Structure 1
């Protein structure tokens, strides 16, 4: 008797991929998702300048070949990252997202702008202000006190602080986006 569990998981993944492809091609018949379509797809309208820049940064992290569009493979990679990635992979993505200017470090202002933008987009209220959250992160994990977080400081600091990891994960919770995708997949 073979391992039937592996077969059913493979069949589920094939079915899921087929549904993702149908959804993607229904929304993007050209086979490419532009930044404008990305915003439309997720219902992101009337954003502040900072929030709009955050969404653009998120779009650019998913546009892996920097051609200005997200193709189906990039779309699947993005969904896989959000759905199935381990903590280290997600932290690498979070760091890239927070490193707004691409300097290889995150400064306090970058973290503040991103946190504020994420909160504006999600519409969820929090006990701690964006500024207080940013300051807490730096107070806890800016080991050398230089006002910037290197990739190593960021990933090690977050992983070594369960409360901070939980707060960061909740802050970047994309379940509302996934619910939209899955809800529309089930309707098809």
Structure 2
């Protein structure tokens, strides 16, 4: 086979690998968000048109969240100017807070999976929905369980989201509080059902939810 043929085969394999990875990612996101795979695929295509490099900046994310929230909650033509300003400030705060949760490496960007999970947070109403979302964010591989280190990362991110500065000792104390409230069978692994059913018994989680 000539070099041209080898190049075509290599390109085809690379494309197939990307498609396989995307299919897995779409399935995981569908399970976490209850969105349809086709809807996620369409969101992905739109995301890549806006961000062809595969990552989204904070400025662009804030713009898109604002557009999404306004389309669902706001009739601009019938609202006063001060109400528009108040809504803009609330949405910007929400988007900024969500972005901090996902930008744990301080790179100033988020990828598509993070974008979908963050956008999904704008649709939450009940405490159970919020707890389910929190769990799904930190269940990185979609396996259905999280451990103590992931709980610790969760707590650190929730403090960051609320713009509260705390020490590592305080984070450790909160982690132990959450684990004792949730890990009823003491096996070190927290399932989604355990988390949603028992997390509210944690003083830290309860206070965080009440502040939202």
- TM-score, reference length from structure 2: 0.45
- TM-score, reference length from structure 1: 0.50
Structure of larger gyration radius: 2
- Larger helix fraction of residues: 2
